Each structure stands twice: as C-alpha cells, then as structure tokens.
Chains A and B, each alone.
Chain A
Amino acid sequence: MTEIAETPPIEMLSTGNDRWRRALFRFRQSKLSMLGAAMVAVVLFFTLFGTVLAPYPEHVAGGVATADRFLPPSAAHPFGTNELGQDVLSLVMAGTTVSVLAGFGVVLIGTVIGTLVGGIAGFVGSWTDEVLMRLTDLTLTIPGLILAMAIAAALGPGFTNMVIAISLSWWPGYARLVRGEVLAAREEVYVTAARAIGASPARILFRHILPNTVSPIIVKMSLDMGFAILTVAGLGFIGIGVRPPTPEWGTLLSLSRAYMPDYWWTAMAPGMAMFLAVFGFNLLGDGLRDILDPKARR
C-alpha cells in the first residue's frame, strides 16, 4: 500500500467522453432530432424567461385594457388582443411557464412513482409483483383525464393539485416499462456477481439494476412531455386547471372558444404554442431513442 501511495494521485480521466461525442454526432446526423432539440430549447427558454420578456407585463399580472379589446394582429400586438384587451403574445409567453413546468412535474412524479412500483414489482417478484401490477392495471383501466378531473375536483383547483391529479393517472405506463426492464436486467451476470459478493437487495436494485434501465425511461419521459403538456392544457380547457388571471395555454384556448371564428387570433397563438411544444418534445424523444435505446436502433 505504501508503494501505491507514492504514485501520483489517481488520474480522473474524462470518462465516457468519447461515447458522448459519438452519441452527439449520431444525434446531429438526424435533422429532425436537431429540429426537435431546437424547438424544445425555445420552449424551455420561454419557460424560464417568458414572464420577464413579455412585452406587456401588466397584462400578465391580470391588468386589463378594455379600450383595446379584440384588436387584430398588428405591430404593437403581433397576435392581437383578447376580450379584455390583453396582449395575446404576452399571455402565451408567460403561459409557457405554467404549462411546461406542470408537464414536467407530471412526468417527473409519474416517473418516480412508476419506477419505484415497477422496480420493486420486477425485482421482488411473486405476490408483490402480482399485487403491484394488478394495482397498475387497475389504474390503467380508468381513463386518465377523467381520473385527473375527479382528483382535481376533490382537491380543488390550483397548480399543485393539478400536477398531482395528472401524475396519479400517469405512472402506470412507467411502472410497466420499468418492470419489464428490471425483469431482464436482474438476470444479468453482473447482478449474480453482486449477489455473490453479498450486496443488499437495495444496493442490487438501485446500483446495478435501475441504472441499466434509465435509457428507455429517459426516452419515454421525453416523448411523454408533449402529452403531459396537452393533458395539462386539457384540464385548463375544461376549467379545472390553473385559474385566470394566471395565464395558461389551455385556459387561454378555452376562453377564446366563445369568440371563434370572428376573433380567431385569440385561439391561434396558444394553439400554435402547444403544437410547437408537443411536436418538439416528440421529435426530441424520437432522436433520443435512436441514440439511447439500442434495441430500437437500426
């Protein structure tokens, strides 16, 4: 041991750097993946800075200008104004924050619950597996939006409640995905090696099995982001999501419904925003699957 102590400190090489560069290269080869990444970047940018950059911050805060109601798109209001004279562009920009954060929260909570349930079910097996997976199937049989509506109605409106409500109908997909991956990974030789060393079940699950299931989970998260944003907007549209004056895409769309088709611009901006966000996350997810999921790779 003294000999080793004299040698220079153990070098920390940039591990796996090469692998990342190769993955990035393959990702760049696909124009659609890059387009998706760019769209997601724009969406994330507005998530962080939309409220700050909005040209009419007083409208975001709930201020009205009834004299300017239903102005068509112009240089001052690129997407026109709504029934309260608020600038639609400002509202949509600020609405990105709520919509994307809610979507992200839903996917994150769904992943955590689903990974735990599926991981434990696949790892422990026998009756634990049966109970957990029947519970999962049971949740799957209830239409997600209806369950979310029921939960949101019970908990009352609001951002957190909405996220919780949707998450509770969101995790079964992850549970089934993770269970399948865990069933495959737990038969790996390195898991047997860990058992032979005397590793605890928790260590085997969290150190050896679950890290080898992250790729499909990340891919599914990215693909799900779009749908989560849509579901959040759906709840907003039927009026159980975030309440005005907090701007949110679904709520904006729902309010503008009454003024279609004469004042079409009030619906177009939030609709386009949703379209771009969902489309971007889907393209990104497809691109990630190509580089992360070897089974789906050509």
Chain B
Amino acid sequence: MSDPILQIENVSKVYGARRALFGKTAEVQALQDVSLSVRKGESFGLVGESGSGKTTLTRSILHLETPTAGRILFEGRDLAQLSAAEMRRLRARVQIVFQDPYASLNPRMSVQDIVTEPMLIHRETLGLDRRQRIERAAELLSLVGLGPQHLSRFPHEFSGGQRQRICVARALASGPELLLLDEPTSALDVSVQAQVLNLLCELQDQLGLTYFFISHDLAVVRYLCDRVALIYRGELVEEGETDRIFDHPESEYARMLTRAMPEVRVPA
C-alpha cells in the first residue's frame, strides 16, 4: 500500500463547560487520543454508535473544528499550520458527503448552482470559466447517474437517492482526492442504499479516490472498506484489516458488534 494521505495523531476534543443559568454544564470529552492513518486509494471505515465522536472527527478533518490536542495531517502537512489561502486550496481536495440528503442541499439553489459552486469558489485553482463549469457539472451529473436535463431543477424535485447523487456530484466537483462519507446511505431506502454504494465503488475505481467511510452499518462497512477502525465513546477501540476485525475481533466491543450483526455472507 502507498503513503498515508490522512494521518490523525493523538487527537482529543473536549467541548468546554459553558456557563448555564444554574452553574455550569459538564465538559464533554468527544474524542480521546485518537490516532488513525488512512492510505491513499483505500477505503477506510470508521464504525461507532451515535455520540461516539464520529461527527466530531469528520468536522476536525474538515478543519471546521480545532482539536483540543493532537494533530491532523493531510499528506504529511499539519492542518493547523496552514495559512488561510493554503487551507482554502486544501478544501478542494478533501470533500464530504453528508448523511441526510434532504438537509444538505440548499433548497433555493438549482442543481447547476449547487454543483458549479465548488468550481466557482476554486476557480483560481481549477481555472474553469462559466461555460466550462456548466459543462463539467453536466459531466459530473452523468457520472453519478443523472443527466444534464437535471441541471435546472431544484433539490425538492428529486428523491432521496437522487439527492444523494447530487451531493456526490457536488463533492466531486472540486476534484478531491479524499472523500469523507458521513453515513451516506443511512437515510436512504434499502434498495436505494445498494445503488448509491455501487455508485461509490465505481467512482472509486474510476477516479482513484480515497474514502473515509463513517457508518454504523457493519454490513456496508464490510462490503466497502479495506480497513476498519472502531470508535466507542471517543476512544479508538480497535483498528485493522476489515476481514481480520470481522473474523478475529480482538476487543470485547468488536466481538459484541460482530455477534450482533445479522447474518452476512460476502461472496468472496
């Protein structure tokens, strides 16, 4: 395997106690000394239940939050050390698809505006004029299984699966190398889930993307991911090759999870 694209080193995040009406609210330890390393071109799965710190970790990777301690490195460069301009350029290379496709598209923007916006923001890096941006948006839409006729539509005209495809197209618009997938299928119908997952697999093959896949659906993780990390209450419990974790779990938490899994047979 190749070099790590993303390294998370001893990251902790504490949400500070705030002064409330009576006394203080308690501190929340969202992440505790988490270290991970994602290699270029792989699919890395992060599994954890609600409130385990998955979302905090993604927000930290996107630099929307600053970790209380530890470092996050993208291609060996510490995010916290980057200048504002460098950070902006880096945002084009790390993108995210959110869980809820109904909430993650601006209802007042047409699909064309939504998909071209990343290219507009990063026009200096990408160097596309208006015409080219629209052409590339059409291209991206066909890549995710929609078509140029959808460009002038608005999000409310689409189904959940289609919206998630638009979200994927938007995430790909700036030409990212690392895609964070924050439970991209858990808000979708089961039949649509499979379609979106297959789309993600195809895209990874075509574009050589690295996936950081967050889920609590073990079957999906096993299907899609090369390596998996388990996170529980902000702490990393276990990390390793997917097959190893599912077949020979070391920690009690991993054993509990795999036992709780409904029967899964992946045709090898």
Whole-angstrom distance between the Cβ of B102 and the nearest chain A Cβ: 9
| B232 partner residues in chain A, CB cutoff 8 A | none
| B68 partner residues in chain A, CB cutoff 8 A | none
> When the two chains form their complex, are residues B104 and A211 in contact, meaning their CB atoms are under 8 A apart?
no
Cα distance A26–B148 in the bound complex, in angstroms: 32
> When the two chains form their complex, are residues A13 and B149 in contact, meaning their CB atoms are under 8 A apart?
yes
Whole-angstrom distance between the Cβ of A193 and the nearest chain B Cβ: 5
Cα distance A15–B152 in the bound complex, in angstroms: 6
| A13 partner residues in chain B, CB cutoff 8 A | 149, 152-153
**Which stretch, A1-9, A37-45, A99-107, A141-149, touches the partner chain B?**
A1-9
Whole-angstrom distance between the Cβ of B101 and the nearest chain A Cβ: 9
The reply to whether the CB of B194 lies closer than 8 angstroms to some CB of chain A is no
Whole-angstrom distance between the Cβ of A297 and the nearest chain B Cβ: 15
The reply to whether the CB of B146 lies closer than 8 angstroms to some CB of chain A is no
A15, closest chain B residue (CB): B152
**Which stretch, A62-70, A120-128, A197-205, touches the partner chain B?**
A197-205
Contact status of A197 and B118, CB under 8 A, knowing A11-B149, A192-B64, A212-B107: yes
The interface bits of chain B over 202-245 (1 if a CB of A lies within 8 angstroms of the residue's CB, else 0) are 00000000000000000000000000000000000000000000
The reply to whether the CB of B103 lies closer than 8 angstroms to some CB of chain A is yes
| B108 partner residues in chain A, CB cutoff 8 A | 211-212
> When the two chains form their complex, are residues B103 and A190 in contact, meaning their CB atoms are under 8 A apart?
yes
| A-B CB pair tally, cutoff 8 Å | 92
Of B107, B117, B134, the most chain A CB neighbours within 10 A belong to B117
The reply to whether the CB of B62 lies closer than 8 angstroms to some CB of chain A is yes
> When the two chains form their complex, are residues A11 and B154 in contact, meaning their CB atoms are under 8 A apart?
no
| A4 partner residues in chain B, CB cutoff 8 A | 135, 138-139, 142, 148
| A203 partner residues in chain B, CB cutoff 8 A | 121
Cα distance A192–B100 in the bound complex, in angstroms: 12
Whole-angstrom distance between the Cβ of A154 and the nearest chain B Cβ: 41
Cα distance A197–B95 in the bound complex, in angstroms: 7
Cα distance A197–B138 in the bound complex, in angstroms: 19
B101, closest chain A residue (CB): A189
| A197 partner residues in chain B, CB cutoff 8 A | 91-92, 95, 117-118, 121-122, 170, 174
Cα distance A10–B133 in the bound complex, in angstroms: 12
Contact status of A190 and B105, CB under 8 A, knowing A10-B138, A13-B152, A198-B91: yes
Contact status of A10 and B151, CB under 8 A, knowing A193-B104, A197-B118, A212-B106: yes
B91, closest chain A residue (CB): A198
Cα distance A189–B96 in the bound complex, in angstroms: 11
Contact status of A11 and B103, CB under 8 A, knowing A199-B121, A212-B108: no
Contact status of A190 and B106, CB under 8 A, knowing A1-B139, A197-B174: yes
Beta-carbon contacts under 8 Å, B131-186 to A: 132, 134-136, 138-139, 142, 148-149, 151-154, 156, 167, 170, 174
Cα distance A189–B151 in the bound complex, in angstroms: 21
| B121 partner residues in chain A, CB cutoff 8 A | 197-200, 203
The reply to whether the CB of A296 lies closer than 8 angstroms to some CB of chain B is no
Contact status of A10 and B148, CB under 8 A, knowing A188-B103, A198-B88: yes
Whole-angstrom distance between the Cβ of B165 and the nearest chain A Cβ: 15
| B88 partner residues in chain A, CB cutoff 8 A | 198
Cα distance A195–B59 in the bound complex, in angstroms: 11
> When the two chains form their complex, are residues B92 and A198 in contact, meaning their CB atoms are under 8 A apart?
yes
The reply to whether the CB of B193 lies closer than 8 angstroms to some CB of chain A is no
> When the two chains form their complex, are residues B103 and A1 in contact, meaning their CB atoms are under 8 A apart?
no
The reply to whether the CB of B10 lies closer than 8 angstroms to some CB of chain A is no
Beta-carbon contacts under 8 Å, A157-209 to B: 188-190, 192-200, 203, 207-208
Of A1, A192, A207, A212, the contact of B98 (CB 8 Å cutoff): A192
A190, closest chain B residue (CB): B106
The reply to whether the CB of A76 lies closer than 8 angstroms to some CB of chain B is no
The reply to whether the CB of B35 lies closer than 8 angstroms to some CB of chain A is no
Contact status of A189 and B100, CB under 8 A, knowing A15-B154, A197-B95: yes
Beta-carbon contacts under 8 Å, B44-91 to A: 62, 64, 87-88, 91
Whole-angstrom distance between the Cβ of A270 and the nearest chain B Cβ: 41
| A194 partner residues in chain B, CB cutoff 8 A | 106, 117
B99, closest chain A residue (CB): A189
The reply to whether the CB of A12 lies closer than 8 angstroms to some CB of chain B is yes
Q: Which residues of B contact A (CB under 8 A)?
A: 62, 64, 87-88, 91-92, 94-96, 98, 100, 103-110, 112, 117-118, 121-122, 132, 134-136, 138-139, 142, 148-149, 151-154, 156, 167, 170, 174
Q: What are 12 A-B interface contacts by the 8 Å CB criterion?
A: A1-B139, A10-B151, A13-B149, A13-B152, A15-B154, A189-B103, A190-B104, A192-B98, A193-B104, A196-B91, A198-B91, A200-B121
Q: Besides A198-B87, A207-B109, 8 other CB < 8 A contacts?
A: A4-B139, A7-B148, A12-B152, A15-B110, A15-B152, A189-B98, A208-B109, A212-B107
